[in-house]
Amino acid sequence: MYAVIISTPGGPEVLQWTEVDDPVPSAGEVLVDVVAAGVNRADLLQRAGFYDPPPGASPYPGMEVSGRIAKLGPEVEGWSVGDEVCALITGGGYAERVVVPVGQLLPVPAGLTLIEAAAMPEVACTVWSMLTDTAGMHSGQTLLVHGGGSGIGTFAIQYARAIGVRVLTTARERKHPVLRDLGADVTIDYTGQDFVAEVDRATGGTGVDLVLDIQGGPYLQRNVDCLSPGGKVVIIGLQGGRAGNVNLGGLLAKRGTIVAGALRSRSEADKAQIVAGVRAEVWPLLERGAVKPIVDRSLPMSRSVTAHEVVTASDHIGKVLLVTDSEWHRRAQ
């Protein structure tokens, strides 16, 4: 099969569409013929040599795919060859075939194309696991989403809105109209506005119940400053830096919580539990159109260099997808 390999750590140009050995499914795994793979910011870090895949994972980038089951490994029940699926994976999605533990398979939500389905597993599993499962987000709350134009952000805005949560979001101004269409009540341009002051104004001085943060260190104190009493800062990214200072007096006075987590390094059992939660609570929202896949663009997988350049420049809103070249050419005919 062909896969995108990281020839050496570096810029987008180190990605190479190359012939490699097919993976073989073990017990409890299936082999999927990939149709599309989502590009995630973590793939850029992996390519640059700053985010190695966990032990045992495929060395090729790609943490989510859609496609058709090509083969069942031993002891697999409940799935059949030919089933159309999407999946959360630990690596290896930028390839024509990938093995997936059955607990990480999801059916393609009704109403989505097989290609669109590749946009959903990583964002849905990350946001559901951190905001719903970990932080207990519920109807009537207020949420600040940093980076609303990201793959994660465009999903978080829609999902929170769909379950009755008021959403404020930060993004560069040109992305604001799209984010308001997705359900953001308040859009803040983090390049020219003080988001703490804007949150204060928009909430009448109360603050937000939850902050979904992707910046890390430099935003830590300001995120705590945005919280209402009992509020929670949920950190899922460290784009601005790993280290930060916080005035614990302020956190204590608010009875605030700071929680952080990464999906990729969680156990297979944890991922299966998260995927089951997403199937039960997020898939129905997709199937009734309350949440939609936001796909900025799709490119053939052999053009992963361009895809990484687009995401590096943050030119996109939502997700960038890579479609396997055979599927790309089949659809072009």
Which residues contribute to the site for ligand NAP (CB under 6 A)? 40-42, 122, 126, 146-147, 149-153, 170-172, 175, 190, 214-215, 236-237, 239, 261-263, 311, 314
Q: Name the residue among 266, 229, 243 with its Cα closest to residue 130.
A: 266
* 71 or 180: CB nearest ligand NAP: 180
Name the one residue in this structure whose structure tokens are 């570096």.
10
Per the CB < 8 A criterion, the answer to whether 269 and 247 are in contact is: no
Q: Crossing angle for the helix pair 41-48 and 304-313, nearest 10 degrees?
A: 110
Q: Provide the Cα torsion 122, 127, 130, 131; round to 10°.
A: -170
* 52 or 75: CB nearest ligand NAP: 52
* 161 or 175: CB nearest ligand NAP: 175
| β-strand partners of 323 | 36, 300
Distance CA 280, CA 82 (A): 23
Minimum distance, C-beta of residue 229 to ligand NAP, in the bound complex (Å): 25
Minimum distance, C-beta of residue 274 to ligand NAP, in the bound complex (Å): 10
Minimum distance, C-beta of residue 202 to ligand NAP, in the bound complex (Å): 16
Q: How many residues does the structure list for the chain?
A: 333
Minimum distance, C-beta of residue 72 to ligand NAP, in the bound complex (Å): 28
Count CA atoms within 13 Å of residue 236 on its CB side.
28
Minimum distance, C-beta of residue 265 to ligand NAP, in the bound complex (Å): 8
* 25 or 147: CB nearest ligand NAP: 147
Name the one residue in this structure whose structure tokens are 């109360």.
206
Minimum distance, C-beta of residue 171 to ligand NAP, in the bound complex (Å): 4
* 147 or 183: CB nearest ligand NAP: 147
* 33 or 122: CB nearest ligand NAP: 122
Minimum distance, C-beta of residue 253 to ligand NAP, in the bound complex (Å): 26
What are the E-state strand segments in the chain? 2-6, 15-19, 29-39, 64-72, 84-88, 97-101, 105-107, 142-146, 166-170, 186-188, 208-213, 227-235, 257-260, 295-300, 319-323
| β-strand partners of 234 | 212, 259
* 41 or 97: CB nearest ligand NAP: 41
What is the number of the residue whose Cβ is closest to ligand NAP? Answer: 237
The stretches of 92-208 forming alpha helices (DSSP H) are 114-117, 121-127, 151-162, 176-182, 195-202
Distance CA 317, CA 306 (A): 16
Distance CA 135, CA 79 (A): 32
Minimum distance, C-beta of residue 239 to ligand NAP, in the bound complex (Å): 5
* 30 or 36: CB nearest ligand NAP: 36
Minimum distance, C-beta of residue 206 to ligand NAP, in the bound complex (Å): 22
* 60 or 190: CB nearest ligand NAP: 190
